[in-house]
Chains A and B, each alone.
Chain A
Amino acid sequence: MHIPDGFLSPAITVPATVATVPLWIYSARRHFGPNQVESLPAIGTLTALAFVIQTIMIPVPGGTSTHLLGVPLLALQFHPLVAFVCESLVLLVQALFFGAGGITVLGVNSLCMGLFGSLTAWLVYRILRRASERLAVIVASYLAMQVSAGTVALALGLQHWLSPDHFPTPFAVTFTAMMIPSLTVAGVLEAAYSVVALSLLRRVRPHG
């Protein structure tokens, strides 16, 4: 889902990176504590967990497969800012060690997938959980996936609007290409996965 290097110009990537850095620092300090001894293992382990969740491939009818995001699950289990820090680090590790994604677009991808997606999951869950816990998890995870895909499409659409010569694909095409798989397959699978994983987690740790 994430945007590769070269698709966005510095007109978008530089402000996004500048906006993201203080947010990373604030989120890491707030949720992992200023003490390195306490915070580094927790951040590292949760990031590794998010990374591994994203490597679990789910077969999709038609012979292909998709992967889970895991961001809604982290947001619901911990906090959206925890999910944001972990997803940003996943993107950094992918870019530096696995040759996927990119460094110039790290800020944009972190905001779209790590922050907006996880905030959506968390807010929707808090609104709906009194009606039905399970429904709240399903709707929160499904909408988080749609918001992540939608904001990625919006970032690319903004680039097309700023300079069609830089990114020639019109917003309508990008949005359609991002949203159809997200609405029909990825969102449904993410919601199903979050429900199963959270119910198992609650069974293992009823007060967790």
Chain B
Amino acid sequence: MARPRGGRALLLGWLVAIFALSALRDPALLAGLLVVAALVFVRGSLSVWRKVLIAVVPITLGLTLSSFLWLRLRDGRAPNFVPFLGLGLRATLIAFVSLSVLARLDLFRALAAWPTLTRLLVITLAQIHALRRIALESLLGLRSRLPRKPRTRDVVRGAGGITASLFTLGQRNARDLTDAMRSRGF
């Protein structure tokens, strides 16, 4: 478990690092840094790599292939591959560093210096958890009531109904939370 001050330093270091990394273009440098990052954050890296593959690869690959096709059709020759390689490596490196740092960070302890933000994130995450369960159960209920697989129209209607209930519930939750916070002296 990270100490608050150590966690805060890691958080700030990560913020500075990702902005700095987002300025780099040289594929050789980016590849080198990716190797260094992989060695530094080797513990638990399998699940991080899996998340990186899901979050980064489809979008960069899709953009690269469509750009290649477009530029080849327009210019009659394949474009320079180096900037595409740089983009892919940069996006991968930032995602890998971010996920590795966040996996090692006790975010709420690191954010302890900013109590308003911490309180806001705690409330938001708790509400997300509660509302997601309600939304999921409502959508499962919708599926169970239909004799066939729900179509787009069914899901849009179901989502509209769920949202209306969630709005009402959300506002009630906000009122209850306000009362609870007030009664605890906030």
Contacts and interface: CB of A to CB of B under 8 A. Distances in A.
B181 A37 contact: yes
Contact of B120 (A8, A10, A40, A99): A40
B119 A36 contact: yes
B124 interface: yes
A170 to B, nearest CB: 7
A197 B160 contact: yes
A203 to B, nearest CB: 8
A100 interface: yes
Contacts of A38: 178
Interface string B137-167: 0010000000000111001110111111011
A206 B29 CA distance: 60
Contacts of B93: 6
A61 B94 CA distance: 34
Interface stretch (A116-124, A144-152, A161-169): A161-169
Contacts of A104: 18-19, 22, 94
* Central interface residue in A57, A77, A99, by most chain B CB within 10 Å: A99
A20 interface: no
Given A36-B116, A173-B66, A189-B152, A49 B123 contact: no
A189 B152 CA distance: 9
Given A169-B63, A201-B164, 14 more contacts: A5-B91, A6-B93, A37-B186, A45-B171, A49-B170, A73-B163, A97-B107, A100-B55, A169-B64, A170-B67, A173-B66, A173-B70, A193-B156, A204-B167
Interface of B: 15, 18-19, 21-23, 25, 51, 55-56, 59, 62-64, 66-67, 70-71, 79-80, 82-84, 86-87, 90-95, 98-99, 102, 107, 116, 119-121, 123-128, 130-132, 135, 139, 150-152, 155-157, 159-164, 166-168, 170-171, 173-178, 181-182, 186
Interface of A: 4-10, 13-14, 36-38, 40-49, 51-53, 55-61, 68, 70, 73, 77, 89, 93, 95-97, 99-100, 102-104, 163-170, 172-174, 177, 189, 192-193, 195-197, 199-201, 203-205
CB-CB nearest 10 A-B residue pairs: A196-B160, A44-B123, A48-B127, A41-B177, A6-B91, A200-B164, A168-B83, A197-B160, A6-B90, A45-B174
